Amino acid sequence: MLDFPRWKTVGISIILLLGILFSIPSFLPQKTVDQLPGFAQIKVNLGLDLAGGSHLLLEADLADLNKTQLANMEKTVRAAMRGERGPDDDIAIGDFKASGSTISFLIRDQKQLDDARDRLAKETQGAGMTGQRDWRVDVVDTTRIVMTMTAAGRDQAVARAMESARDIVDKRVNELGTREPTIIREGNDRIVVQVPGLQDPKALKDLLGQTARLEFRMVDPNGGVGPNGAANVPVGSELVPYAPGEGGGAPGEVLRRQVMISGDQLISAKQDFNQQQMPAVSLRFDSAGSNTFARVTGQNVGKRFAMVLDGKVLSAPSINEPILGGSAQISGNFTVQSANQLAIALSSGSLPVKLDVVEERTVTPELGADSIRKGAIAGIIATVSVLVLMLVVYGRFGVYANIALAFNVFLIIAIMAAFNATLTLPGIAGFVLTIGAAVDANVLINERIREELKRGRRTFQAVELGYTEASRAIFDANVTNVIAAALMFWFGTGPIKGFAVVLTIGIVTSVFTAVTVTRMFVAHWLRSARPTSINI
């Protein structure tokens, strides 16, 4: 017991000192922390339940993604069959069908079948680790080609879509001007968005709920929609409905399938006003887009084109003259806010997949502040009552335990700050629990010392035995708690995770402070005072 080596004392003192230093920024107000040098700006993060803010869980609509994949492949196939060397090189195809994860079509001239397969082989790629291709190409009944998306291809498509969706969500959230949002992918097809301080998540949800796939397409002059909705749709065109409130009662427009220019070719989009002083969105296309726009509008003066957003027609103006310069303006049934939102959505790029909000948790900053205040008060009262109890029951040994307990608090905060961990409301409860665990360790040790004294052991020996014999139970008990905390961390979400983090850190620090640190105090006292009896 007496041989507590000097290097150990020094080591422990350094750890405790670091603990206090690293926990200081967490007690300071944010303004003061901002003025500190960068290395000192480590601070415990407050969870959304304490700081206030919004948590959104977005889930990709995989059925929608699948549909997009099929549509894109159809476009690719049509382009590939069109041939590079003029009309003689074309392969005539027809009877396009799409269902599930397959598309199929007929090759009109059987002699071109091999050529067609060669061209398709260039359009499919290896996917995943297995070297499997992303699409399988089969021939059925000698003239029908069936293309099936493979599992590896689908996984890859989902992974790619989610990666780019995450980036786009990131851009859009940042456009809202929020403070330090967290945007991370979760699982296969989900994205977590956490925005501290956000009061009303409605604008955010609207912004993220918009795919923002913008297309300019020509209205087919040979097509037409009757007032009763019956449409005459020529080959190569389709009926596209109007967005709600647009079109002046017409159900939709018959548009060419071919896209003139799309939102991918935008360089900027911003909220603006049109000539009638109504909110609108002004667009600028890149040079390739501008050229196409100028050429197509030049060829089609007097005809109409349509602006299509997410599969709905916003407007279908007539082309009075070629539109040069690459600018356009979308007007529609907008408010300033919704026009602004559309501008943000368009300039951040279109989402490769539709995202649904499947979970939402919002806490107002006032409620959060109230929780912190009450939690802190309760924490202080709880700690003080435990300290008093320890003092009354164990005297000098209680004082040592209490000092260790105070160090424990600093260490937990310091480690959380160093790992950039987040303190949530259940985390505060976890804090209280680890205080309980730390107290229990000291209770075990002190009770054991009492027992050994009762059995007639001399002071030093009793203290020594108290520490060694109690350590076994302390160790086992804390391992079981770590098991529980680890499971909470792996399986839990949100609040449970926050609790598990504090609990795990607290278990480690409480064993250190309650056993090692108190032992150091006791050893030094025994060595210097050499008491013949102790009051415990």
Site for another protein in 99-158 (CB under 8 A): none
Compare residues 59 and 220 and give the one whose CB is closer to another protein: 59
Chain positions 186 to 225 lying near another protein, rule: CB under 8 A, are 202, 205, 209
Compare residues 127 and 355 and give the one whose CB is closer to another protein: 355
The contact pattern for another protein, residues 343-382, with x = CB under 8 A and - = no contact, is: -------------xxxxxxxxx-xx--xx--xx-xxx-xx
404 makes contact with another protein (CB under 8 A): no
Alpha-helix residue ranges (DSSP H) falling in 151-234: 151-175, 202-209
CA distance 47 to 416: 12
CA distance 74 to 105: 9
390 makes contact with another protein (CB under 8 A): yes
Compare residues 86 and 244 and give the one whose CB is closer to another protein: 244
Residue partners of 27: CB distance under 8 A and separation at least 6: none
Angle at 134 between CA 70 and CA 169, to 5 degrees: 65
Residues binding another protein: what is the number (CB under 8 A)?
Answer: 81
State the nearest-atom distance from the C-beta of 196 to another protein, in Å. 14
Tell me which DSSP letter residue 420 carries. T
- Among 433, 463, 514, 517, which residue sits at the site for another protein (rule: CB under 8 A)? 433
CA distance 150 to 87: 32
Compare residues 267 and 388 and give the one whose CB is closer to another protein: 388
Compare residues 138 and 359 and give the one whose CB is closer to another protein: 359
Compare residues 168 and 470 and give the one whose CB is closer to another protein: 470
Taking CB under 8 A as the binding criterion, the range among 102-110, 249-257, 315-323, 386-394 that sits at the site for another protein is 386-394
State the nearest-atom distance from the C-beta of 312 to another protein, in Å. 17
Alpha-helix residue ranges (DSSP H) falling in 419-517: 425-454, 459-491, 494-511
CA distance 495 to 371: 14
Tokens of 375: 């939690």
10 Å CB burial of residue 430 (0-12, 13-18, 19+) is: buried
For 345, the enclosing helix (H) or strand (E) is: helix 336-347
464 makes contact with another protein (CB under 8 A): no
CA distance 350 to 316: 21
State the nearest-atom distance from the C-beta of 535 to another protein, in Å. 6
Of the candidates 356, 363, 379, 354, the residue with the CA atom closest to the CA atom of residue 432? 379
Taking CB under 8 A as the binding criterion, the range among 32-40, 110-118, 232-240, 454-462 that sits at the site for another protein is 454-462
Compare residues 324 and 367 and give the one whose CB is closer to another protein: 367
State the nearest-atom distance from the C-beta of 352 to another protein, in Å. 18
Which residue in this structure is represented by tokens 């009450």?
Answer: 374
Which residue in this structure is represented by tokens 């082309």?
Answer: 319
Tokens of 63: 């059925």
Compare residues 76 and 199 and give the one whose CB is closer to another protein: 199
Compare residues 113 and 477 and give the one whose CB is closer to another protein: 477
The contact pattern for another protein, residues 406-425, with x = CB under 8 A and - = no contact, is: -------------------x
State the nearest-atom distance from the C-beta of 306 to another protein, in Å. 27
Chain positions 20 to 79 lying near another protein, rule: CB under 8 A, are 49, 57, 59
Chain positions 494 to 533 lying near another protein, rule: CB under 8 A, are 494-496, 499-500, 503
314 makes contact with another protein (CB under 8 A): no
Chain positions 476 to 495 lying near another protein, rule: CB under 8 A, are 476-481, 483-485, 487-488, 490-495
- Work out the number of other CB atoms within 10 angstroms of the CB of residue 327: 13
310 makes contact with another protein (CB under 8 A): no
Question: 369, 288 in Cβ contact below 8 A?
Answer: no
Of the candidates 502, 496, 488, 515, the residue with the CA atom closest to the CA atom of residue 433? 502
CA distance 56 to 198: 11
Amino acid at position 395, single letter: G
Compare residues 136 and 450 and give the one whose CB is closer to another protein: 450
C-alpha R_g of the chain: 34
171 makes contact with another protein (CB under 8 A): no
389 makes contact with another protein (CB under 8 A): yes
Residue partners of 466: CB distance under 8 A and separation at least 6: 445, 446, 448, 449, 451, 452
Cα 377 to chain centroid distance, Å, stands at 33
Compare residues 363 and 515 and give the one whose CB is closer to another protein: 363
Taking CB under 8 A as the binding criterion, the range among 123-131, 151-159, 384-392, 410-418 that sits at the site for another protein is 384-392
Tell me which DSSP letter residue 325 carries. T
6 makes contact with another protein (CB under 8 A): no
State the nearest-atom distance from the C-beta of 498 to another protein, in Å. 9
Compare residues 283 and 363 and give the one whose CB is closer to another protein: 363
Amino acid at position 338, single letter: S
- Among 83, 241, 322, 436, which residue sits at the site for another protein (rule: CB under 8 A)? 436
Chain positions 274 to 293 lying near another protein, rule: CB under 8 A, are none
Tokens of 97: 């069908």
- Among 135, 242, 394, 512, which residue sits at the site for another protein (rule: CB under 8 A)? 394
Compare residues 55 and 256 and give the one whose CB is closer to another protein: 55
Amino acid at position 519, single letter: R
